[in-house]
Amino acid sequence: MYGFREIDASQLKTWLDEGKEIQLVDVRTPAEMARGMIPGATALPLTVLPLKTGELSKDKPVVFYCMSGGRSAQAAAFLANQGYPEPVSLRGGITAWSRSGYPVAQG
């Protein structure tokens, strides 16, 4: 591990259904987000993450997702290096989320 943890789509769905306090962040490009986002997510493309890190909570887990998990892992590792206590990456990204039959809202 690189100072962050990974969860799968079913774990994220459980957290959301249980009302667990998380900050869900989509790090894809705006064009990718326009095709749909996980409901409740904040848009923060990976390219601007270093400039906007201060907008992310240190009081609750920050869960990143992208298309398949690569960029979200980069984002979580970056946050861990910035001293955030609970960065999380969604394994398989929104692709795994939607393949599991979970809702996607239009961006």
Q: Which residues contact 43 (CB under 8 A, 6 or more apart)?
A: 25, 26, 30, 33, 37, 107
Could you list the active site residues? 66
Among 59, 61, 66, residue whose Cα is nearest residue 44: 66
